[in-house]
Amino acid sequence: MTTIYLIRHAEAEGNLYRIVQGHRDSALTDRGWRQVKALEKRFEGVRIDAVYSSDLYRARATATAIAKPRGLPVQGVPDLREICVGEWEQLTFGEIARRDAQMLENFGRHMEQWRVPGAETPQAVLERAWKFLNRVAAENDGKTIALVSHGYILRLLLSKIEGMTLEETGAVRHGDNTAVSLLEYGGGAFRLLYRDDNRHLKTKEYLEKETSAKRNNALETGLWFRELPPDNPLFAELGAEAVRAVGGAFDRARLLSGAEGCAALCAYLGDEPAGLVQFDPQNGWIFILYLREKYRRKAMGIQLIGQAVVRTRANGGGSVSVAAPPTAAPFFAACGFAPRETCGDGRTVWEKDIRFPEL
């Protein structure tokens, strides 16, 4: 008999920024790394003989929680990768909903009807992962192994083990980040002992380090973004609102001029302009980060930061920074920024490292 732990990766940037990841690599969030530590503690004293993981960074990083304390290698496996979503990759969920709300609905709830150019089908993903799961289970008879993969693919595998069709799987929610499922394999068949257990995320030690009580599900519709040229009236309108809202804390000259090389993105919720983020994607400096009042305290501000992170990293940058008034300190601290220095006008420069830590 083979004992198998199936584990979803820790919270990654795509989960937090509402950006579809698919086969694209993304880093873990600060919360994700806390989940990795909680997972490591959960498995203390548990015998593990081998660790397999999707070869994508977010899964491999999570797998270190089990592999490193035991001196085991993380064996990267392409067959455990998340579903490739084709032309959706790196789009926000808000953008996808704007383009084709029904297909976004199908992705989560009607898998058998989901089709996107350049993407795998859910059935094809299930077949590749199922084939690997059966092979590795048979090869490790008498051993205990851990497999780290992704929400969509684990949902497919676990539902198949429970005898569900693809149509029925659409009604099942995927497990939380780092949720653990336990299988036994023998005689060519799997037995599910428990599914999507997250008890390690409910301990006092983990919860007391939480900086935010709310995280929206990555499948919920988020914001979409459109680049605004400096002469666009909406750019001027939102920019003026932002300057008034923060009492001149942002760089008025840069805002009003739309300096060369800067990106100014309007954030939309549906058809309604919700805010503005302006930044230099070469060095990661955020000049303005603004949400209209009605959209605040709804976990949307982090999505604006996400655009700066993704675009800066694509240009080779290793950090994003912002100078913000004292009132913004709790927000930036919760978003993984650290204070770097104090400006003469009372603002604090906050910086976020966006490099991928070595594993």
CA 279 – CA 261 distance, rounded (Å): 9
- The whole-number pLDDT of residue 211 equals 62
Quickly state the pLDDT bin for 260 (edges 50, 70, 90). Answer: low
Query: Mean per-residue pLDDT for 130-147?
Result: 98
Quickly state the pLDDT bin for 217 (edges 50, 70, 90). Answer: very low
331 closest CA partner among 353, 314, 348: 348
- The whole-number pLDDT of residue 222 equals 85
In this predicted structure, the answer to whether residue 165 has a pLDDT above a threshold of 50 is: yes
pTM: 0.91
Helical axes 151-161 vs 122-139, angle rounded to 10°: 70
Query: Mean per-residue pLDDT for 82-102?
Result: 95
Quickly state the pLDDT bin for 240 (edges 50, 70, 90). Answer: confident
Residue with the larger pLDDT of the pair 232 and 96? 96
Unique residue bearing structure tokens 């149509």: 167
CATH ID of 224-353, from 3.40.630.30, 3.40.50.300, 1.20.210.10, 3.30.43.10: 3.40.630.30
Domain range list for the chain: 2-207, 224-353
Query: Mean per-residue pLDDT for 107-132?
Result: 96
Average pLDDT over all residues of the chain: 90
CA 78 – CA 129 distance, rounded (Å): 9
Fold of 2-207: Rossmann fold (3.40.50)
Quickly state the pLDDT bin for 252 (edges 50, 70, 90). Answer: very low
In this predicted structure, the answer to whether residue 230 has a pLDDT above a threshold of 80 is: no
Q: Are 305 and 269 in contact (CB under 8 A)?
A: no
Quickly state the pLDDT bin for 236 (edges 50, 70, 90). Answer: confident
Amino acid in position 9:
H
Query: Mean per-residue pLDDT for 178-190?
Result: 97
CA 35 – CA 29 distance, rounded (Å): 10
Contacts of 359 (CB under 8 A, 6+ apart): 57, 60, 61, 64, 74
In this predicted structure, the answer to whether residue 248 has a pLDDT above a threshold of 50 is: no
φ and ψ at residue 249, rounded to 5 degrees: -70, -20
In this predicted structure, the answer to whether residue 170 has a pLDDT above a threshold of 70 is: yes
345 SS3 class = coil
In this predicted structure, the answer to whether residue 212 has a pLDDT above a threshold of 80 is: no
Residue with the larger pLDDT of the pair 217 and 121? 121
- The whole-number pLDDT of residue 22 equals 93
CA 149 – CA 145 distance, rounded (Å): 13
In this predicted structure, the answer to whether residue 322 has a pLDDT above a threshold of 70 is: yes
Query: Mean per-residue pLDDT for 157-164?
Result: 97
Query: Mean per-residue pLDDT for 249-255?
Result: 46
Give the E-state strand segments of the chain in sequence order.
2-8, 50-54, 74-77, 144-149, 180-186, 189-197, 224-227, 263-269, 272-280, 285-291, 319-324, 338-342, 348-353
Q: pLDDT, tens digit, for every residue of 18-65?
A: 999 999 999 999 999 999 999 999 999 999 999 999 999 999 999 999
Query: Mean per-residue pLDDT for 278-282?
Result: 91
- The whole-number pLDDT of residue 305 equals 95
114 SS3 class = coil
